[in-house]
Structure 1
């Protein structure tokens, strides 16, 4: 594949651009009514957006396979619509005119620095439709576009399948947590016979259904197993609130520690390290629960290395090291995001509010037994995540080489 096969085009020649326009908030809901609504990059996943809000009225709409492109800070982040969706003012939809949406997605990724520079050179600027339409690219013939897209999409497919494996493992962990700590059907074999008398063959049966003794916790949790108590977060975990260093310490060259201001760089389970800082006051350690304390409140990730915490995040570390249990406790409590953000989506949560959250705490033996089981699930999730990081890096190295023709494809047979 040589440069002779390429021709210069403007983005407006090969794609339609639909700028987002947010509907009135009275049309929003979190119950799945209407179209998924994407306001900006906080709704973006690895490749496909994450549905958290819907709207019953839409001014601007993206179709399936349209490219979702952030036009407000930070400019240039991309996802692909996997269903018809409503567009907020922070995103636009870019729709291929020649049915080569997959190639267009990789073409934009290969030229993202050029696009950002057209937005006045700063990741904190906005970019408009006329600027986008005038951006020029060199593109190969359509058969070559299709082959390039097929090669690069194969990496995305592997990554997506791995994400499904991670999701399946998490769902298994959530189901077991619900069985043990919500329904109180943990194995009777973990209890003293005086607490849960067991007949022959019943030691693996659930505690509550097998006549396990329950006592009144004196809290909103009501009856709990004997030996279990209700405690505040500050009694069972250490909480570190983030504090952002000054922006002159930030860099994209891996100098210092990864810096996370909020949920922008949250992955499906572990954060994506993009911004670094050579200075920091507040840190999260490997394995800490990362919890967003500013809009949107209640989003979680797990630190897989030491990172600097910005003011939009907190790090939570269980005093006994039961991090998997801690994650699932929070996951169950925050099934709806922003629920403790003083009742509004764009509120924040304070350290005192977090520290005074209450949780049902099992006996140490039950907790340790559960942690031994579930930590293996989380370890497997981390291994799969590492595999995805390697796949992503390989794909990202190939994108500019294939899209620009620096690496030739074998001739079509």
Structure 2
């Protein structure tokens, strides 16, 4: 019999990740993997590949496969023993098992590895595992390829921004005087004079009804919902947790209470690309947080209306292509997860 019933602990052994405070991190090539994926870099690893990491608290149900030395953070659990199973199959099995997992901790969503080890699952012989992986990894390869293309488009837009608004090599710059360090006609206002930071609204995982609208937290998309709170395109800024992260959201969405959002009428490509250089900082002593008054006190170099409009028109094709690739990845992810469920439930034979 190729498929059989067992516990998750029969397939993998999970261990809590390791603390690594911001103050002791040294920038390097090693990815730091938290409950929401890669959230930083360090100069030394704590675990060798292949790695399978999932959230211990915070973002529950996401599973990340790592093919290089990495540092699993204390907000996550990671596999320390695959017990002879295919590592990628273990990642798919864990994803399928945790997709509807309900935490017993009411305050902060969390999971206990000892509880997870006892969950009932269906596994397969190694040869069957490899066939499952060959099917599902084809989707993942396409998703990863599109993700890399999105990153390249993002970097191209950022290079464009730096050329115009950092190095001041914008069209016609040869004929514009620089006064007090900025081109004539440009300004250096406080953020409060440029935008409004609005608070997101709480939407617990238990209250969400899976739908077409993405739910944004400070680590990016954390789920979907049947209703939207904000019209896109708009900009999201991390307020709690991942302070100062900035996201461009093309579609209608729901920002939760760990973020601020800038409304549609104030959001454009120039502002999205300018905000990371403003210098947002953690202003809370406990949980990392961004105080709105502090954010408003920061200054930003604002170009003339004409130059801002010209820049937005110039990078619009890049963002349009990015949106197309993002939509494609969402459809691929949905198709993969549906196929994953059917393969694991035995509805489809391989």
Query: How high is the TM-score relative to the length of structure 1?
Result: 0.75
1:195-344, aligned counterparts within 5 Å? 207=173, 210=174, 212-216=176-180, 223-244=181-202, 250-254=207-211, 259-260=215-216, 262-264=217-219, 266=220, 271=221, 273-275=223-225, 283-317=229-263, 323-334=268-279, 339-342=280-283
1:99-114, aligned counterparts within 5 Å? 99-112=85-98
Which residue of structure 2 lines up, in the alignment, with residue 10 of structure 1? 7
1:68 corresponds to 2:53: yes
Cα–Cα, structure 1 residues 289 and 139, in superposed 2: closer, same or farther, change >3 Å? same
1:2-401, aligned counterparts within 5 Å? 4-22=1-19, 25=21, 28-32=24-28, 35-38=30-33, 40-42=34-36, 44=37, 50-54=38-42, 61-94=46-79, 95-112=81-98, 116=101, 120=104, 124-188=108-172, 207=173, 210=174, 212-216=176-180, 223-244=181-202, 250-254=207-211, 259-260=215-216, 262-264=217-219, 266=220, 271=221, 273-275=223-225, 283-317=229-263, 323-334=268-279, 339-342=280-283, 346-401=287-342
- Which secondary structure state, in structure 2, belongs to the residue aligned with residue 349 of structure 1? coil
Cα–Cα, structure 1 residues 51 and 272, in superposed 2: closer, same or farther, change >3 Å? closer
CA contact (8 A) 1:7 1:140 kept: yes
Distance (Å, rounded) in 1 between the aligned partners of 2:63 and 2:116: 14
Distance (Å, rounded) in 2 between the aligned partners of 1:288 and 1:129: 38
Give aligned pairs, total.
349
Query: How high is the TM-score relative to the length of structure 2?
Result: 0.87
> CA-atom RMSD, angstroms?
3.1
CA contact (8 A) 1:295 1:345 kept: no
Deviation at 1:157, TM superposition (A): 0.7
**Which structure is larger by alpha-carbon Rg, 1 or 2?**
1
5+ unaligned residues in a row in structure 2: which ranges? none
Deviation at 1:314, TM superposition (A): 1.1
Cα–Cα, structure 1 residues 155 and 377, in superposed 2: closer, same or farther, change >3 Å? same
Distance (Å, rounded) in 1 between the aligned partners of 2:18 and 2:182: 49
